Structure 1
Amino acid sequence: MNIIGIIASQRKEGNTAFIVNEILEGAKEQGAEVKAFSFNDLDIKPCRGCWACHKSDKGCVIKDDMQQIYDALEHADAIVLGLPIYMGQMSAQGKIITDRLFARFSPRFSPFFKENAVKQKLILSFNQGNPDADLFKVYTDYTKNMFEVLEFDVTEVPIVTDLRSEPACEREDLRTSLMDFGSALVSVK
């Protein structure tokens, strides 16, 4: 099984990176091949809304590091998308990546969309400083639904909370549960 992680945060070694990497580590321990992409290491521009990706079979015309993610998505069985919540919704980095998925994952328009294709599994991981896991539930449910409409099989939506009081890397209970998500991702048929 091939699993990619996308860390949609500017903080290269922050909470989001820890969360995604621990989920990937759990999958790796079960034999999965894993690779993580950190937004911080990539030059990814926002979608132009030009629709060129849907007017031919050439894909996105913006030649930047999103091409690396497109290539990895072609071979991925599953994705772990780590999204910090800023101002009640995913980070700007997460939005840029999500918008750029339009070139590959919009079934009504994309020449890349394959009917009856096996859906890629997706762990949609959110993290926030606030201790109330339900505070942004309307938004996290909306985002889950959006990815399901785009034909992803959203297997889990963990919401890691209370990160103002203690960083994720210092919470041993969190490490175990994150690795369990990754392990379960490999064993899900």
Structure 2
Amino acid sequence: MKIIGFSASPRKEGNTAWIINKILEGAKEQGAETRSWYFSDLDIKPCQSCYGCKQGELRCIIKDDMQKLYDAMEHADALVLGSPTYMGQMSAQAKIFTDRLFAQYHPRFSPQFKEQNAGKKLVLVFNQGNPDAGMFQPYYDYTQKMFQLLEFDVKGVHVVAGMRNGPAHERKDLHTVMKEIGSALVLERFPE
């Protein structure tokens, strides 16, 4: 099983990256092949709404680092997208990435594309400073629904709250919990 982790944070070595890598560590322990991408290292431009992806090869025509991610995602069985919560929603980096998925994963209401998109497993992970994990729940629910409309098989939305109290790597409770998410992704043992 191939699993890709995306850290949609402006900080390469911040909480989001640590959380994603801990999830991937749990997956790797179960035999998965894993890879991390850090959006802080990538040049990804916003969608230009040019609809070039609707013509020709049905791929985004913007030549930037998103092309690498499309190729990697095409060969992956599962994705883990992590984002800090800024102003009650995903980071700007995560939003640009999500908008650019339009070229490959938007519902085209055609059996051909539904079959192509269906079944790609996805785990969403948000971290936030606020200690109330339910504070932004309506947004997290909306984001899950949006990815489901794109035909992703969303296996979970996890919120790591209270990040104002110190870095993620110092929270002993997170080490096991994050690894268990990665393990569950490989073993397909998700709570109902």
TM-score (norm 1): 0.95
Corresponding letter in the other structure for 1:126:
F
1:23 aligns to what?
23
Question: Residue 115 of structure 1: CA displacement?
Answer: 2.5
2:151 aligns to what?
151
Q: Percent of pairs identical after alignment? A: 62
Aligned residue for 2:125, secondary structure, equals strand
Cα pair 1:105 1:112 within 8 Å, conserved? no
Distance in 1, Cα, partners of 2:58 & 2:111: 9
2:57 aligns to what?
57
Farther off after superposition, 5-14 or 113-122? 113-122
Q: State the Cα deviation string for residues 68-105 of structure 1 (Å, max 9, x = none).
A: 11000110100000011000110000000000000000
* Aligned alpha-carbon RMSD (Å): 1.7
Distance in 1, Cα, partners of 2:84 & 2:71: 24
Segments of structure 1 that go 5 or more residues without pairing to the other structure are none
Distance in 2, Cα, partners of 1:116 & 1:58: 13
Query: CA 1:176–1:115 in structure 2 vs 1: closer, same or farther (change >3 Å)?
Result: same
Farther off after superposition, 50-59 or 73-82? 50-59
Corresponding letter in the other structure for 2:173:
D
Farther off after superposition, 80-89 or 110-119? 110-119
Question: Residue 118 of structure 1: CA displacement?
Answer: 4.5
Whichever structure has more helix as a proportion of its residues is 2
1:128 correspondence with 2:128 = yes
Cα pair 2:54 2:103 within 8 Å, conserved? yes
Corresponding letter in the other structure for 1:145:
K
Aligned residue for 1:164, secondary structure, equals helix
1:170 aligns to what?
170
Distance in 1, Cα, partners of 2:183 & 2:110: 32
Distance in 1, Cα, partners of 2:187 & 2:166: 31
1:84 correspondence with 2:84 = yes
Segments of structure 2 that go 5 or more residues without pairing to the other structure are none
TM-score (norm 2): 0.94
Query: CA 1:39–1:110 in structure 2 vs 1: closer, same or farther (change >3 Å)?
Result: farther
Segments ≥4 residues shifted beyond 6 Å = 109-112
Distance in 2, Cα, partners of 1:112 & 1:41: 34
Distance in 1, Cα, partners of 2:102 & 2:109: 9
2:9 aligns to what?
9
Question: Residue 54 of structure 1: CA displacement?
Answer: 1.1
Cα pair 2:89 2:136 within 8 Å, conserved? yes
Cα pair 1:56 1:111 within 8 Å, conserved? no
Cα pair 1:132 1:161 within 8 Å, conserved? yes
Q: State the Cα deviation string for residues 28-79 of structure 1 (Å, max 9, x = none).
A: 0100000000001111111101111012224111000001110001101000
Distance in 2, Cα, partners of 1:168 & 1:185: 21
1:99 aligns to what?
99
Query: CA 1:70–1:138 in structure 2 vs 1: closer, same or farther (change >3 Å)?
Result: same
